[in-house]
Structure 1
Amino acid sequence: MTLLRATSSELTKQFTTAIWWVLAIVLAAYVGLTAAGLAAVIGAAASGVLVGADASASELGSGGTALLYSLANSVGYVFPLLIGALLVTGEFRHKTLTPTFLAIPRRGTVLGGKIIAGAVMGLIYGAVSVVVTVAGVAGLLALFRVDPELDSSDTWAMLGRILIASVLWVLVGIGTGLLVRNQVAAIVIVLAFTQFVEPLLRVGGSFVSQLSEVAKYLPGSAADALVGSSIYTSMSATSGAALEWWAGGLVLAAYAVVLLLAGHIFSWRRDVA
């Protein structure tokens, strides 16, 4: 019952502030416009409307539609990661953790509530990302008379795995927020790693075979493997060495578990002001 109360409290904190829906709107606009733009170009090439398109681009195929739908993860994953970090660091920044611990003295229970609430937020952000991506991609492909493959079980299985990846990204964010209590520092670290450090390592893995073995175990690579397709792996010369979808899910889940445990041991149990 206490865990239920802690979860309810965490969800109330999320939905009574503006940050969650602001990020959701930015996520929808960013992912939706990116997916729609790429779908328009590829759909035009596949239908022959785009004059002078490369022959390889004119054959969309199931791999092409999967790549377009996977943008919900490969482009939008930073948003559930951020909301997970903010879910914890906001407590330290606004000094609301003390009354939270006074209301629910068991810190493990409070963290459990955050994890469950984070999973709910991950599903919401994943659903937003999937809906805007599918709407934009399927609509534009249909406009160019290209099969959007929404009748394929593989497509729906991939969309389901995107939701799982979104939940895991929130948990990774919560773990990051536990270890990096300062909100600004946590945001900077998340953005720097996801937008600069990991992309460089993954690009480097395309040219250096030894680095590719490391790069495929990075969190972004693991998430792409879980989903089953990604614009990044499609551009990589080592994409054939990607993990199986289930292995990618286990690797990403391992990142979440390790960060959560480390945050609980080294940070969550420390005194708060």
Structure 2
Amino acid sequence: MTSTLQAPPAAPRPVIPHVGIPGLRLVRSEIRKMTTTNAWWLFGIASVVFTGLALWINMTEAAEHLARARDTAAVFRPGRGMSAGEIAAAKAEFAQLHDLHLQSVNAAGNIFTSGQFFGLLLVMLLGTLVITNEFQYQTATATFLTTPQRTRVVFGKLLAVLGLGFLFWLVSRALSFAAGLLFFHNLGLTNSLSEWPVQRAIIFNLVAYLLWALLGFGLGTLIHSQIGAVVTAMVIYLVGFVGGMGVFTLIRENLIHGDWVLTSAVIMPPIASQVMVSPEKLYPQAAPWWAGVLVMTGWSLIAGAIGIISNRRRDIT
């Protein structure tokens, strides 16, 4: 009788519980990358400075407009030689300038969204730097080798960019709210926060911060050169607003004589952004605020989609 000795069964491999959410770890990792450089806090300081400067300008202008609107002794006097149509237009403008409620709403919308012009530019540049830093410091290869699923990496970067955009918006709005509430309290006027135009301006101010951060991210995926991407972003934002309005104005005056030409300027992202966050019409022929929302959303989604697709397919060496 023989017996066969059998080896004891191998002990099962211990199950190590997964700790944390993979996507959340990627977002934290991307935020850590950004906060280890000087760019984020330099941008943060610039955002605070620009917000403070914008608050001073907006409150000075608002004080003048509100003082004029509170002047009950003012009387409309048409100028000499004015036609009936010109008198009617001047009278309507006089009524608006002396409408205290309207001027309070416009002042609140501008004050509570102070700093948005340069703030949007800063978050756009920050979104650009998030992706171009990988190529500037040659860390892209290590990043994609550590996490081979590129889609997760790209979405991690994207969420980090949106998170920082929200943070910049929050700090800027905290400053403008503190200053704005004190401003209206000292004047003895309502802060108009219960008015929809003011609420809309604040809400879409946040939307603008997120969309411009997304637009900058998409631009960074197309232009890997950090200097080239930053310069292009600044040209798109700064020159796009002033130059865009100039081009459409020239077309309106010399080629196509129709107000719809100036209305169609909303297709330019900087103009669309200003249209959607302005508590009143940006200019008489401006498109409605919802058109600005649709245009900015479209441009940002296209840029984000291009960024995701190009990072998934492009070879990283």
Shorter-chain TM range is 0.7 to 0.9
Secondary structure at the counterpart of residue 172 of structure 2:
helix
Aligned match of 2:265 in 215, 232, 235? 215
CA–CA distance in 2 between the matches of 1:165 and 1:20? 19
Identity of aligned residues (%): 24
CA–CA distance in 2 between the matches of 1:263 and 1:153? 35
CA–CA distance in 1 between the matches of 2:122 and 2:108? 23
CA–CA distance in 1 between the matches of 2:261 and 2:243? 11
Residue type at the aligned position of 1:226: M
CA–CA distance in 2 between the matches of 1:229 and 1:173? 25
Gaps of 5+ in 1: none
CA–CA distance in 2 between the matches of 1:84 and 1:268? 18
CA–CA distance in 1 between the matches of 2:260 and 2:200? 32
- Shift in alpha-carbon separation, 1:203–1:170, aligned structure 2, 3 A: same
CA–CA distance in 2 between the matches of 1:117 and 1:266? 19
Displacement of 1:41 in angstroms is 3.0
Aligned match of 1:163 in 196, 201, 206? 206
Number of the residue aligned with 1:131: 174
Number of the residue aligned with 1:256: 300
Q: Does 1:21 align with 2:41?
A: yes
Say if 1:222 and 1:243, in contact at 8 Å, map to a contact too.
Answer: no
Number of the residue aligned with 1:112: 155
Say if 2:112 and 2:180, in contact at 8 Å, map to a contact too.
Answer: yes
Gaps of 5+ in 2: 1-20, 75-92, 253-258
Number of the residue aligned with 2:314: 270
Q: RMSD of the alignment, in Å? A: 2.9
TM score, norm. by length of structure 1? 0.84
Q: Per residue, is there more helix in 1 or in 2?
A: 1
Number of the residue aligned with 1:192: 235
- Shift in alpha-carbon separation, 1:141–1:41, aligned structure 2, 3 A: farther
- Shift in alpha-carbon separation, 1:215–1:26, aligned structure 2, 3 A: same
- Shift in alpha-carbon separation, 1:203–1:139, aligned structure 2, 3 A: farther
Q: Which of 100-109 and 37-46 deviates more?
A: 37-46
- 1:39-73 residue CA offsets vs partner (Å, 9 max, x unmatched): 12321442359x9x996656423133223334443
- Shift in alpha-carbon separation, 1:63–1:203, aligned structure 2, 3 A: farther
Say if 2:26 and 2:156, in contact at 8 Å, map to a contact too.
Answer: yes
CA–CA distance in 2 between the matches of 1:80 and 1:134? 20
Number of the residue aligned with 1:12: 32
Higher RCO (CA < 8 A, seq sep 6+): 1
CA–CA distance in 2 between the matches of 1:158 and 1:220? 16
CA–CA distance in 2 between the matches of 1:146 and 1:206? 38
Number of the residue aligned with 1:237: 284
Number of the residue aligned with 1:64: 107
- Shift in alpha-carbon separation, 1:12–1:128, aligned structure 2, 3 A: same
Residue type at the aligned position of 1:259: A
Residue type at the aligned position of 2:146: A
Residue type at the aligned position of 1:138: L
Residue type at the aligned position of 1:221: I
Displacement of 1:106 in angstroms is 1.3
Displacement of 1:113 in angstroms is 0.4
